[in-house]
Amino acid sequence: MALSTRIETAIGQAVAVGRAGGPARLSAALDYAVQPGGARIRPTILLSVAQACGDDRPAVSDAAAAALELIHCASLVHDDLPCFDDAEMRRGKPALHKAFSQPLAVLAGDSLIVLAFEVIAAAAADAPDRAVALTRHLARRTGMPGGICAGQGWESEAEIDLRAYHRAKTGGLFMAATQMGAIAAGQDPEPWEELGDRIGEAFQVADDLRDAICTAEDLGKPVGQDDLHGRPSAVAELGLDGAVRRLDDILAGAIASIPSCPGEAELAGMVRAYAGRILPEAVREMVPGE
Amino acid sequence: MALSTRIETAIGQAVAVGRAGGPARLSAALDYAVQPGGARIRPTILLSVAQACGDDRPAVSDAAAAALELIHCASLVHDDLPCFDDAEMRRGKPALHKAFSQPLAVLAGDSLIVLAFEVIAAAAADAPDRAVALTRHLARRTGMPGGICAGQGWESEAEIDLRAYHRAKTGGLFMAATQMGAIAAGQDPEPWEELGDRIGEAFQVADDLRDAICTAEDLGKPVGQDDLHGRPSAVAELGLDGAVRRLDDILAGAIASIPSCPGEAELAGMVRAYAGRILPEAVREMVPGE
């Protein structure tokens, strides 16, 4: 089965559990938060790593992939709130708090976070050790002190360590992706941290480039947000050219970091293919000097 | 060790894990959200049930108790936000979003939810089956479709089923308390649902009574909120006298529902003692006709 089919099926099943018999508007908000999806990059990486490691319990891998995407969707819903980015649009449609309400946006995010942990526990009845390890890694990369909540929290500090900030805010869920993929397949997650860290770093640099270059129509969400909110950015630090060179270095390092495993070559190919999706040629061509 | 000492120690250890090395203001917000505590009723019930069931793994029970209280504290922080209750005060001090900021209040709530699941997973390395069951029960009573998020979500519906609303919003974490107490001690949680359900119902009726009768100074938080927000309330439905009679009936039913277990008599005594804390005599005396 194609990874995208596995991911959409697992997300659909998870949200169906969360909806059944609940209040109608909040139920609809859960669907709205996860559909239509973006690139589903994080769960795709998770399942790719699981496959590279043998994927001996696909139901556990699918649950882990769905859980990770639910956390990502929850973070988008909360980040879009007026007190953060105050975003009007997300994935080409009104942000959830605009389409529903602020209370339902807060609750939808909260519910998706909870559902993520529930999905892992529910899928792992015959592999409780993996469920516990998946829960610990997902929590570590989501909450405090080093997950995406911490990353967002750094924006409330007077002084920010740019590397720590990006590692938590964007890197968190990519490290969760590679490490949870290994755990779901019964492997040691530690050697997989670097790959996730580097992919996350690449993604952040690419996001900074897109924010600096693209139009809102290209992205389906507001641009120039980093500049507007005075947020740290690789483009501000290195310039456009420098940021593109940094991105290429990071991706090369990511491929070099892949641990030895049965599916190592396929996984390297996947990362190369993603490089094109992380920073499309069309964007790369907009950079002066490229 | 006294239950209150076990609870405060477990909460303190949990938040210390969440703080270590994270951004300073969000770290401080986590402390602010959990200290000073309220009555810690939910974790006290959890540990009381665990003790009644033998409490053969006190570290697991303590983690479950801390996790439950973290979820409760998270719900208070999010409920106090301007888009919900817009509360100025909580537990006699400014609400978290007033003392810090709205972004930090959203993030503190999110982080506490995540930390709750992390705490359970971290404590249960040698009892992964219990960790999985604790996670499933805590998630079920916290999120959608039947937990406290769902309860809050019912307030966005045009028509509310009062029983379903209270069962989710207030009952959820009391059912989690009794059932997680049983799970932490290795017992079947199903016979413990009714006790939690009834305690939750009693607590909601008492809360409605306090909201209708007390002054803000008595409670350290705003009163008259049900009326102000047009929320359903047992007092609006049954009158003051009727609500007090309902409360007494519910507590009698709660005691009668306690499953047969080694600590049954002590637990019944605890519930009776709590009846006085749930609705103090001073409040009872304010009800005309009592």
Instruction: Identify the closest residue of chain B to A151 by CA–CA distance.
Output: B23
Q: Is residue B276 part of a domain?
A: yes
Residue A92 backbone dihedrals phi, psi, to 5 degrees: 75, 10
* B289: pLDDT strictly greater than 70: no
Distance (Å, rounded) from C-alpha B19 to C-alpha B208? 35
- Residues A27, B144: C-beta atoms closer than 8 Å: yes
Interval A87-98 mean pLDDT: 95
pLDDT value at position A217?
58
Instruction: Identify the closest residue of chain A to B109 by CA–CA distance.
Output: A110
- Across all residues in chain A, what is the average pLDDT? 90
CB B241 within 8 A of CB B290: yes
Q: Is residue A241 part of a domain?
A: yes
Instruction: For residue A234, name the pLDDT band (cuts at 50, 70, 90).
Output: confident
Residue bearing the bigger pLDDT, A229 or A58:
A58
CB B172 within 8 A of CB B142: yes
pLDDT tens-digit series, residues A61-73: 999 999 999 999 9
Instruction: For residue A281, name the pLDDT band (cuts at 50, 70, 90).
Output: confident
Stated as kind and residue range, the H or E segment containing B147 is none
Q: Is residue A289 part of a domain?
A: no
* A224: pLDDT strictly greater than 80: no
CB B254 within 8 A of CB B199: yes
Instruction: For residue B233, name the pLDDT band (cuts at 50, 70, 90).
Output: confident
pLDDT value at position A219?
61
- Residues B103, A152: C-beta atoms closer than 8 Å: yes
| Residue A92, phi-psi category: left (phi > 0), alpha (psi -120 to 50), beta (remainder) | left
pLDDT value at position A161?
76
Interval A35-42 mean pLDDT: 92
pLDDT value at position A126?
82
End-to-end, the C-alpha distance of chain A in Å comes to 39
- Residues B136, A118: C-beta atoms closer than 8 Å: yes
* A218: pLDDT strictly greater than 80: no
Interval B18-24 mean pLDDT: 89
The two tokens of residue B56 are 């053969």
Count how many domains chain A has. 1
Supply the DSSP symbol for A94.
Answer: E
Partners of A78 on chain B (C-beta within 8 Å) are 106, 110
Which three-class secondary structure state does DSSP give residue B1?
A: coil
* Ordered DSSP codes for A8-66: HHHHHHHHHHHHTTS-HHHHHHHHHHHSS----HHHHHHHHHHHHTT-S-HHHHHHHHH
Interval A4-27 mean pLDDT: 94
Instruction: For residue B218, name the pLDDT band (cuts at 50, 70, 90).
Output: low
Distance (Å, rounded) from C-alpha A254 to C-alpha A272? 10
* A290: pLDDT strictly greater than 60: no
Interval B81-96 mean pLDDT: 95
Partners of A84 on chain B (C-beta within 8 Å) are 103, 106
* B290: pLDDT strictly greater than 60: no
Q: Is residue B135 part of a domain?
A: yes
CATH of the domain at A99: 1.10.600.10
- Residues A84, B104: C-beta atoms closer than 8 Å: no
Partners of B155 on chain A (C-beta within 8 Å) are 103
Of B21, B101, B136, the CB nearest to A156: B101
* A88: pLDDT strictly greater than 90: yes
Of B83, B118, B156, the CB nearest to A143: B118
Q: Is residue A290 part of a domain?
A: no
Q: Is residue B84 part of a domain?
A: yes
Partners of B132 on chain A (C-beta within 8 Å) are 121, 124-125, 128, 131-132
Which residue type is seen at B247?
Answer: L
- Residues B110, A143: C-beta atoms closer than 8 Å: yes
For testing contact with chain A, the best of B17, B80, B96, B110 (most A CBs within 10 A) = B110
pLDDT value at position B258?
96
Give percent helix, percent strand, percent coil of chain A, each to the nearest 5. Answer: 70, 0, 25
Please list the alpha-helical segments (H only) found in chain B.
Answer: 3-19, 24-34, 41-52, 58-79, 96-99, 102-123, 128-142, 148-154, 162-166, 172-184, 193-213, 216-219, 225-228, 234-256, 264-278, 281-284
Instruction: For residue A7, name the pLDDT band (cuts at 50, 70, 90).
Output: very high
Q: Is residue A253 part of a domain?
A: yes
Partners of A102 on chain B (C-beta within 8 Å) are 83
Which three-class secondary structure state does DSSP give residue B200?
A: helix
pLDDT tens-digit series, residues B237-280: 888 889 989 998 999 999 999 999 989 999 998 888 877 777 76
ipTM: 0.92
Partners of B162 on chain A (C-beta within 8 Å) are none
- Residues B156, A26: C-beta atoms closer than 8 Å: yes
Give how far B200 is from chain A: nearest CA, Å: 19
Give how far B125 is from chain A: nearest CA, Å: 8
Give how far A82 is from chain B: nearest CA, Å: 9
pLDDT tens-digit series, residues B56-83: 999 999 999 999 999 999 999 999 999 9
The two tokens of residue B194 are 């009714």
* A275: pLDDT strictly greater than 90: no
- Residues B113, A115: C-beta atoms closer than 8 Å: no
Instruction: For residue B227, name the pLDDT band (cuts at 50, 70, 90).
Output: low
- Residues A139, B131: C-beta atoms closer than 8 Å: no
How many interface pairs between A and B have CB atoms less than 8 angstroms apart?
192
Distance (Å, rounded) from C-alpha A193 to C-alpha A175? 5
Instruction: For residue A49, name the pLDDT band (cuts at 50, 70, 90).
Output: very high
- Residues A149, B107: C-beta atoms closer than 8 Å: yes
The two tokens of residue B281 are 């005599």
Partners of B121 on chain A (C-beta within 8 Å) are 132-133, 135-136, 139
Interval B161-188 mean pLDDT: 92
The two tokens of residue A284 are 């790369």
Distance (Å, rounded) from C-alpha A80 to C-alpha A105? 9
- Residues A26, B150: C-beta atoms closer than 8 Å: yes
pLDDT value at position A159?
87
pLDDT value at position B216?
59
Domain limits at B202? 3-284
* B33: pLDDT strictly greater than 90: yes
Partners of B27 on chain A (C-beta within 8 Å) are 144-145
- Residues B104, A140: C-beta atoms closer than 8 Å: no
As a three-state string, the secondary structure of A171-225 is HHHHHHHHHHHHHHCCCCCHHHHHHHHHHHHHHHHHHHHHHHHCCHHHHCCCCCH
Give how far B155 is from chain A: nearest CA, Å: 9
For testing contact with chain B, the best of A102, A132, A157, A183 (most B CBs within 10 A) = A132
For testing contact with chain B, the best of A32, A110, A162 (most B CBs within 10 A) = A110
Instruction: Identify the closest residue of chain B to A134 by CA–CA distance.
Output: B121
Among A76-85, A98-107, A200-209, B171-180, which stretch is predicted with the lowest mean pLDDT?
A200-209
Interval B109-113 mean pLDDT: 98
pLDDT value at position B217?
58
Which residue type is seen at A21?
Answer: G
Distance (Å, rounded) from C-alpha A148 to C-alpha A153? 8
For chain B, percent of residues with pLDDT exceeding 90: 67
Among A210-214, A251-255, A257-261, which stretch is predicted with the lowest mean pLDDT?
A210-214
Instruction: For residue B42, name the pLDDT band (cuts at 50, 70, 90).
Output: very high
Q: Is residue A238 part of a domain?
A: yes
Distance (Å, rounded) from C-alpha B14 to C-alpha B236? 40
- Residues B114, A25: C-beta atoms closer than 8 Å: no
For testing contact with chain B, the best of A17, A72, A117 (most B CBs within 10 A) = A117
* B164: pLDDT strictly greater than 70: yes
